[in-house]
Amino acid sequence: MALGLLVLGQVEVALTGVDGNPVAAHLLWAVVALAALYRRSHPFVFALVCVGGLVPVAWLELVPAWSVIFPVAAPLSVFSVGLYGKRMVPSAISAIGFALASILIVWINQLSGEAGHSYLGFEWVRLITIYLGAAGAGILLRDRTETLESTRLRYESLPPAQSAIEAEVADSRQQVAREVHSVVRRYLDRVQISVEIALERLDKAPAASRSAAGKAREESHKAMEEMRRMLGLLRMDSGAVIPTSATAPIAAPPDGFIHRAAKLAARQALFLLALLNGVVNAILIADVAPQLGGEDLAPVWRLAGATVTAALFIPRRHWPLVTVIGVPISLFVRTWFFGDLLPLDFFVWSAAFVAAAYLRPLPVAVAGGLFVIAASVGTAWAIEPETPWQAFVAFSVTTTVVWAVGAACRDRIRQTTEIEELEAAECLRRKQAALMAIREQKLGVARELHDLVGHSLTAITLQCAGVERLIPSDLPRAKEVLLTVDRLGTDANRELSELLVALSGVRGPILPSLDSLPALAEQIRERGTRIELIISGDFSKVEAGPGAAAYRIVQESLVNASKHSDGPVKARVNLLRDRIEFQIENPETGVSGAGFRFGLIGIRERAEAYGGHLEAGPDGRGFWRVQAEVPVSPTTISPLS
């Protein structure tokens, strides 16, 4: 850039001459080129030289009538301040300040009579668009650069894939182990209590001993049913379908309306600026069109043309060829067929930038830039064929400079997009790997449960049934069998505890109960989510199996609501005589991800495992609602249980 400005300034002064001192002109543009050399490290110096240089340019007459260097250097310096300043906000304010200062200098120059002619309203709009557009382009590209850097840092800060997977697997193993231990251990304890009662009453009250043995058989049978439910849940979890597309959605934090609107405006800033430019110009030029030799076109047609031209910038990211070809053609149609007078600078320069920044590969970008220049020069000639050739040269050179800026930005834009896609793909890949590992772990837990505890429970059930037949006919044999059952229960409890230690590394059950729901809601509130929790009933008597399923349903629903919604969450949990009812609802805002779908599958399977049901989805009023029901035995919540 520095070399280009140096050559451009010196050649222009040498070939066209200036009304002022030629030596001063050569020196001025040499200083501008030198300042451009340090535009990255000292962008404010570059802007001060270029914008400050407008003063001697105007008052000392150091540029020709159709200058090329004049409209190139100052906007580039404003662009550099927005892009290369050290901090975002001060740089943005400074870039806009330098842009306004440039416009102010031109305005003062016109008031003093040094401008050569009086600017019309639409020419002021063009000037404002050029300088503020340069400042905005630098600010937006800087945002791209900072996004690239922050994305790269986030990507580098991700923990090693294996360690992340191991952490998720460990969490899953701990959760499964605690639930299994808490659910099955309670029944085993009841079996042993019943066996002890049967042994105590065997000699004195055989009938009561037989009843206690029957109670032990029933509790063992219930434990086996819980085991089957747990094994079924583990196998269903391990059969869940995992999306394989690298573009599957990743869970994202919810955005507020203002944030989403700002992001949309930033992505379509070029379209919005082009639309504003076109509409204002269409309004201002309507009064002076007859004086300039244009047709008396109805304002509605001018506004329609401005809207169509601006709309062609919308697909520039995904279909840049539509913008590159469509914008010059629309400008030609508006001027040649409809007699619509308008300044071409901003639209042509923007199309040239799109050609350089988005067209792939580079030869196509070059061809697109040449097409924009050729078509715009032809359009300008169609508007004013008497225009001096120097003006066409200046217009072509400035368009080429803008194309060059776009070419310099193409790699940065591509790298930002690629790194964002790589980050999303890596997160998804790690999620898939973790889920695959968790599948294997859960299948392993199911096998261990079947091998270690399942055989013991089967043996206990059969032995208890045998005891009932032996009492009162063969009490010594019944006592021997009861002692065997007691030993089997002790062994099963020990094996279950060893399994818990092996899977989670802790001793003793650490499974939250439904009584812990207020504490869970408070934990989620601390993350910034508003939760209204209403519970009714005494949950202390609920069996461990349905209680654990109910707790996980509420936990998963509240956590998902906090992740995928930014509105208040309302949760109701009611314990009735024969069932637990749930209703959790939150506004439909934010983005749901893969993790949300898997969680929904899991809690639905938990409800169905106990004979219940779960429904989740939009309620038609802008809310996401989860409704579930888990049956419990009436005796479960009675005082006798």
**pLDDT tens-place string over residues 473-523:** 888 888 888 888 888 888 777 777 766 666 555 555 455 677 788 888 888
pLDDT reading at 232 higher than 80: no
Q: How far is 107 from 129, CA to CA, in rounded Å?
A: 15
Mean pLDDT value across residues 623-637: 76
Ordered strands of the 531-536 beta sheet: 531-536, 569-575, 579-587, 623-631, 613-618
> Model confidence over 518-552: pLDDT tens digits?
888 888 887 778 888 888 888 877 876 787 778 88
On whether the CB atoms of residues 160 and 433 are closer than 8 A, the answer is: no
Residues 6+ apart with CB under 8 A from 22: 13
416-444 per-position pLDDT tens digit: 666 667 666 767 776 666 666 666 666 66
Q: What is the pLDDT of residue 248?
A: 35
Mean pLDDT of 134-154: 68
Quote the pTM value.
0.52
Q: Which residues are CB-neighbours of 470 under 8 A, at least 6 positions away?
A: 477, 478, 481
pLDDT attached to residue 206: 85
Mean pLDDT of the chain: 77
Is residue 234 within 8 A of residue 176, CB to CB? The reply is yes
3-state secondary structure 501-530: HHHHCCCCCCCCCHHHHHHHHHHHHCCCCC
C-beta separation of 460 from 495 below 8 A: no
Q: What is the CA radius of gyration of the chain?
A: 38
DSSP annotation of 454 reads: I
Cβ(191)–Cβ(223) below 8 Å = yes
What's phi and psi for 613, nearest 5 deg? -150, 160
The pLDDT of 341-366, averaged and rounded, is 88
Q: How many helices (H) and strands (E) does the chain have?
A: 21, 5
pLDDT tens track for 301-325: 888 998 999 999 999 988 999 999 9
Give the domain ranges of the chain. Answer: 1-157, 512-641
Tokens of 372: 């924009």
Q: Is the pLDDT of residue 363 over 80?
A: yes
The pLDDT assigned to 252 comes to 40
Top-confidence residue, 70 or 460: 460
Contact 79, 134 (CB under 8 A): yes
Nearest residue to 287 via CA among 300, 277, 276, 296: 296
Tokens of 403: 């194309």
CATH H-level superfamily of 512-641: Histidine kinase-like ATPase, C-terminal domain (3.30.565.10)
Which stretch of 229-243, 282-296, 445-459 has the lowest confidence by average pLDDT? 229-243
Average pLDDT over residues 90-99: 89
